[in-house]
Amino acid sequence: MRFVTSASLLGIAAVGLLTGCPDREIAKVRPEQGRVEYKDIPVTVNRNVDILFVIDDSPSMADKQQNLATNFPNFINVLNTIQGGLPDVHIGVVTSDVGTKGTQDAAPGAAVGQIGNGGCSGTGKSGNLQTSGAAVTGTFISDIKQTDGSRQKNYTGNLDAVFGQMAKVGAGGCGFEQHLEAMKRALNNNPANAGFLRPDAYLAVIFIADEDDCTFAKSTLLAPENPAQGPLQSFRCTRFGIICDQGGTNSDQMNQVGTKSQCHPNDNSQYMEKVSVYVDFLKKLKTDPGKIIVAGIMGTTEPFQVELRQPPGGGTAIQSLAHSCSYTGATGLEVADPPTRIKFLLDQFPNRSTFTTICQQNLSDGLVLIAQLLKSVIGDPCIEGNLADVDPNTPGPQYDCSVSDVTNLGKPNQTETILPQCDANATNKPCWRINVDTMNCAATTHHFTLKIERAQAPAPETHVIANCVTEATDN
């Protein structure tokens, strides 16, 4: 047995270009020979997954919600390829509208704007799960496989269509979107959402948004226009919620027109809540933080620019966060802004997060990426790439993988046991081999699967961590 730090196990990206020699058994491989595919396979399969969609319901989101609903079948199609079929899922939807109450306020602040058209009041939708008229009994979708192979469902009709209706949460919600607080209110013992969060289940939180998080600690962020804060527009969320090491190290510099870089949440803001509060909240929801998956379909993080732009009602141009991406939607030009705060949260969950742009006419790629992440976390021994023959001069394929049993994954007492490749008769168990499995790995091109041969069962919380060399692909 060998003891290693988590960095040696998790430092290689899920599928990344080799930038140097991989460690241990694959150390002999030349970087130009291919890529490394990373696998994290729990020995004990948990098929319970709670999926929370946090959907922006501000006035610019109608086209994007329709896009989400239209392409949701691609998300489910990937989940259906998990061994055993669709996991046992709870699927819920909340919106980013939580009104005018700051996280440190005793009561909501005064209402602002036109309610139903971007205005904010009270506690908004309070993080309560929304069904938007879908044919669901209760506040969320429940689809559970029974022992006889049938599925117990609390909805009527097709899963794709039911979620599609749920995703259309409207586009009249608060324009000061509090995505992170909405997530917390949904999951923090909210009696309106009873039964959604299962203690033993994986939790996936998926943000669908075209503006960054504006979770504020104090409703004074929404004070009427004044010299200290400027116009009552969502740029206040940027000015006081973000700092940029280049061009924006304080709120006054953030108020200046120009390009900024190296931007991140402002943890010393007098108005905004710290993003780290929500990172800690999520990680404490489970005894194993590895059961938390976070994802975002949002604007691109760059370019990050402050510009002068005429406000919606007309008048003198004011400081605004420039859109970072755009696309042509069903009704014209659609845009999105840099999601600096949300992206920071995603980055705190390495190997458990993914991010893609909302600025595309078809959200299929983003949804598939998220579903593939869920599939890998649940446990997918199928190899996506084409395994490289690292010694073509030797008869038969010579595959190169580094495989280990890991207990207490990601914890201070993590331990690793390196597994050898199986000999011809697997007399050196535990060991690994590569098999072809056309049934369970039907979705992959070559149907390769990683098989662990064992003489006895490992500890229940063991993870198999593998890095396998695959052929390079043309980009």
Q: Does a structural domain hold residue 437?
A: yes
Task: Give yes or no: residues 136 and 276 share one domain.
Answer: yes
- Residues 212-223: what's their mean pLDDT? 97
Q: In this structure, is residue 145 part of a structural domain?
A: yes
Q: What is the mean pLDDT of residues 325-330?
A: 92
Same domain? For 314 and 392 the reply is no
Note the pLDDT tens digit of each residue in 427-439: 999 999 999 988 8
Average pLDDT, integer, range 19-41: 54
- Residues 73, 166, single domain; the answer is yes
CATH number of the domain encompassing residue 235: 3.40.50.410
My answer on whether 200 and 225 are in the same domain is yes
Judged on CB neighbours under 10 Å (0-12, 13-18, 19+), 185 is: buried
Domain boundary among 356, 379, 402: 379
Banded pLDDT at 16 (limits 50, 70, 90): very low
**Same domain membership, residue 227 and residue 207:** yes
pLDDT tens-digit series, residues 261-289 = 999 999 999 999 999 999 999 999 998 88
pLDDT attached to residue 460:
82
**Same structural domain, 359 and 221:** yes
Higher pLDDT among residues 310 and 322, named by residue: 322
Do 21 and 52 lie in a common domain? no
Q: Are 40 and 465 in contact (CB under 8 A)?
A: yes
Answer whether residue 28 shows pLDDT above 50: no
Among the residue ranges 218-232, 243-257, 259-273, 401-415, the one predicted with the least confidence is 401-415
- Number of Cβ within a 10 Å radius of residue 212: 28
Residue 70 covered by a domain: yes
Lowest average pLDDT, out of 30-39, 85-94, 235-244, 450-459, goes to 30-39
Beta bridge partners of 467: 38, 402
Do residue 326 and residue 395 come from a single domain?
Answer: no
Residue 170 lies in a domain: yes
Token digits of residue 388: 């490289």
Task: Quote the radius of gyration of the chain (alpha carbons, Å).
Answer: 24
Residue 63 within any structural domain of the chain: yes
% residues pLDDT > 70 (the chain): 92
pLDDT at 14 over 60: no
> Do 29 and 52 fall within a single domain?
no
pLDDT of residue 351: 86
State the Cα–Cα distance between residues 435 and 6, nearest whole angstrom.
28
What's the Cα-to-Cα distance from 211 to each of 189, 354, 452, rounded to whole Å? Answer: 27, 17, 45
Torsional sign, CA 186, 190, 192, 196: positive
**pLDDT score of 34:** 62
The terminus-to-terminus CA distance of the chain in angstroms comes to: 39
pLDDT of residue 426: 95
| 85 is a domain residue | yes
Confidence of residue 301 (pLDDT cuts 50, 70, 90): very high
pLDDT of residue 12: 34
**425: three-class secondary structure by DSSP:** coil
Quick one: 217 and 334 in the same domain?
Answer: yes
Domain boundary among 311, 344, 379: 379
Query: What are the backbone angles phi and psi of residue 69, rounded to the nearest 5°?
Result: -60, -40
Whether 1 is covered by a domain: the verdict is no
Question: pLDDT at residue 25 above 50?
Answer: no
* pLDDT score at 312: 77
Phi–psi pair at 9, nearest 5 degrees: -90, -40
The range of the structural domain enclosing residue 435 comes to 6-42+382-471
Q: Is residue 365 domain-shared with residue 400, that is, in the same domain?
A: no
- The residue from 362, 379, 396 where one domain ends is 379
Q: What is the mean pLDDT of residues 50-78?
A: 95
Number of domains in the chain: 2
* pLDDT category of residue 307 using cuts at 50, 70 and 90: very high
Looking at every residue in the chain, the average pLDDT score rounds to: 89
Same-domain check for residues 10 and 86: no
